[in-house]
Amino acid sequence: MQNQRTTTEWRELDAAHHLHPFTDTNSLNEQGARVITKADGIYLYDSEGNKILDGMAGLWCVNIGYGRKDLPEVAKRQMEQLAYYNTFFKTTHPAVVELSHLLAEVAPEGFKHVFYTNSGSESVDTMIRMVRRYWDVKGKKDKKTLIGRWNGYHGSTIGGASLGGMTYMHEQGDLPIPGIVHVEQPWWYKHGKDMTPEEFGLAAAKWVEDKILEVGADKVAAFVGEPIQGAGGVIVPPSTYWPEIQRICQKYDILLVADEVICGFGRTGEWFGQQVFGFKPDIFTTAKGLSSGYQPIGAVFVNDKVATTLAEGGDFNHGFTYSGHPVAAAVAHANVKALRDEGIVDRVKNDTGPYMQKRWREVFGQFEHVDDVRGVGLIQAFTLVKNKATRELFPNFGEIGTLCRDIFFKNNLIMRACGDHIVSAPPLVISKEEIDQMLDTAAKCMVEFEKQLKERGLA
Ligand SMILES: Cc1ncc(COP(=O)(O)O)c(CNc2cccc(C(=O)O)c2)c1O
């Protein structure tokens, strides 16, 4: 059991010993970390007894909701039975076999093989190595360049951070690594000018074709994208974008990779985001909803073409100590089985997802400085704008977003500011009544936000 300490004691020990991810340590330690002590359903509880509605499912990952009683039981039994063994040296174990079998059942048609990792970043780095190995085995050793998108997010390892298009990450670590290039993101609101979204989707896809021709198709290995860019601000591409990307990749014999770390396992109402947008990648990366965050685990799904080619190449010299970890695999199996057998994914598609999308547009569409209200399933966003009529954004993109997010936090509602995009991705078990509660609180926060904008002379 956790030691019982006061919030002050937790904070002091945390400040003395714990380096947080993506954090300005000195700034954090001036104010002290928020100490989350327990969680249930869609709610978090902190050490001060506050009840907080988690509109972000942790970090887009707690699809099944907090406080499940079955998953800890599964972990306990597995830990007692076989806490760990590796899957190197021609060994396997029942937990990873059962998970692999289940994943082949829920995956889109043509995906029967998975490779296991411990995170989304490791899934992305695994994919990079698979893609380059694929073309080596094919005898096309110059096809090594991967194309990503600016403001895309693919993790924080050297490969993932390079493939991602977050320039503030590239500056730390001299990234990107060689052989990774980027094209602009399919953000119609900013880049669409006078085009309709459908026209813009084709234009944005053409940026990929232009990049392929610039690099040389004989040197391009793959195009990689999130079906919906998550940490980049829930950029939902026009319907024409992904089918056109698929056509271009086929035309130039380039592998198509979907990064489904956020969009996977029911987030969009489909099992995977690729199914919303009607494209079939060759490889897709997952993590987050695979275990709903109850255990660290990721998985890379490869289609039959890629699986066969990798196998033809003999030893694939890549993997991790914990690839297919028994406890993580057992918990992921129970999680995915529950998402399917309890009808949670189906409910997102047919009930709570459409309800959220309707209410989200009703609530936020009414505010003067909110535009591009968007989303699908249970991933949604809007953009804070200076002038709707001209689609003018605020200067210093991100400052206004932080102001807005902090008002939500003060009201015990977690939403995420990605620049001046406000985004939300609650646990998939959120009920319609809880959606109403969440949006009622959010609406009050937005009234306060617009009041503060005026008081500060920002609008
Ligand atoms: C699409 C995508 N791909 C890869 C990763 C990396 O996963 P790991 O973190 O498990 O290595 C992600 C992760 N996405 C992520 C992770 C942490 C914070 C935030 C945020 O929005 O603030 C988003 C992601 O969203």
Q: What is the ipTM of this complex?
A: 0.99
Q: Is the pLDDT of residue 60 over 70?
A: yes
Ligand 1 contact via 124 beta carbon (within 6 Å):
yes
Strand order in the sheet with 43-46: 36-40, 43-46, 51-54, 413-414
Residue-number span of the structural domain to which 367 is assigned:
34-67+344-456
Q: Do 187 and 258 reside in the same domain of the chain?
A: yes
Q: Considering only CA atoms, which of 141, 136, 146 is closest in space to residue 220?
A: 146
Q: Considering only CA atoms, which of 234, 190, 204, 197 is closest in space to residue 357?
A: 234
Tell me, what's the pLDDT at 3?
Answer: 72
Q: Do 57 and 97 reside in the same domain of the chain?
A: no
Pairing verdict, β 43-46 and 298-303: unpaired
Ligand 1 contact via 231 beta carbon (within 6 Å):
yes
Reading the block at residue 240, the tokens are: 């024409």
Total-model pTM = 0.98
Count of domains observed in the chain? 2
Any domain includes 281? yes
Q: Do 225 and 316 reside in the same domain of the chain?
A: yes
Mean pLDDT of all residues in 58-75: 98
Q: Do 147 and 240 reside in the same domain of the chain?
A: yes
Q: Do 87 and 56 reside in the same domain of the chain?
A: no
* pLDDT tens, residue by residue, 3-29: 789 999 999 999 999 999 999 999 999
**What average pLDDT does the chain have?**
97
Per cent of the chain over pLDDT 90 is: 98
Any domain includes 139? yes
Ligand 1 contact via 59 beta carbon (within 6 Å):
yes
* pLDDT tens, residue by residue, 181-215: 999 999 999 999 999 999 999 999 999 999 999 99
Tell me, what's the pLDDT at 419?
Answer: 97
Q: Do 279 and 360 reside in the same domain of the chain?
A: no
**Ligand 1 atom 4 nearest Cα:** 154
**Residue 161 CA, ligand 1 centroid: distance in Å:** 10
Q: How far is CA 165 from CA 152, 227, 370, in A?
A: 5, 15, 25
**Ligand 1 atom 8 nearest Cα:** 120
427, 54 contact by CB (below 8 A): yes
Mean pLDDT of all residues in 337-347: 98
Any domain includes 2? no
Q: Do 327 and 370 reside in the same domain of the chain?
A: no
Ligand 1 contact via 154 beta carbon (within 6 Å):
yes
Residue 350 CB neighbour total at 10 angstroms: 12
Ligand 1 closest atom vs CA 121: 11
Domain boundary among 296, 323, 342: 342
Q: Do 212 and 200 reside in the same domain of the chain?
A: yes
Residue 25's Cβ-side half-sphere holds a number of Cα atoms within 13 Å equal to 9
Domain boundary among 302, 322, 342: 342
Reading the block at residue 355, the tokens are: 């309800």
Output the domain CATH number for residue 382.
3.90.1150.10
b/e 354-366 (16+ beta carbons within 10 angstroms → b): ebbbebbeebbee
**Residue 120 CA, ligand 1 centroid: distance in Å:** 6
Q: Which of 56, 261, 418 to mutate to test the pocket of ligand 1 (most atoms within 8 A of CB)?
A: 261
Per cent of the chain over pLDDT 70 is: 100
Any domain includes 83? yes
Any domain includes 12? no
Tell me, what's the pLDDT at 116?
Answer: 98
Mean pLDDT of all residues in 83-107: 97
**Residue 109 CA, ligand 1 centroid: distance in Å:** 26
Ligand 1 contact via 155 beta carbon (within 6 Å):
yes
Q: Do 42 and 95 reside in the same domain of the chain?
A: no
Any domain includes 301? yes
Reading the block at residue 191, the tokens are: 């880049």
Ligand 1 contact via 119 beta carbon (within 6 Å):
yes
Tell me, what's the pLDDT at 459?
Answer: 86
Q: Do 155 and 61 reside in the same domain of the chain?
A: no
Q: Do 176 and 308 reside in the same domain of the chain?
A: yes
Tell me, what's the pLDDT at 1?
Answer: 59
Q: Is the pLDDT of residue 160 over 70?
A: yes
**Residue 333 CA, ligand 1 centroid: distance in Å:** 21
Ligand 1 closest atom vs CA 157: 11
Any domain includes 116? yes
* pLDDT tens, residue by residue, 396-445: 999 999 999 999 999 999 999 999 999 999 999 999 999 999 999 999 99
**Ligand 1 atom 20 nearest Cα:** 231
Q: Do 199 and 63 reside in the same domain of the chain?
A: no
Output the domain CATH number for residue 76.
3.40.640.10
pLDDT grade for 2, boundaries at 50, 70 and 90: low
Ligand 1 closest atom vs CA 120: 7
**Ligand 1 atom 7 nearest Cα:** 120
Domain boundary among 324, 342, 360: 342
Any domain includes 148? yes
Q: Which of 20, 224, 288, 379 to mutate to test the pocket of ligand 1 (most atoms within 8 A of CB)?
A: 288
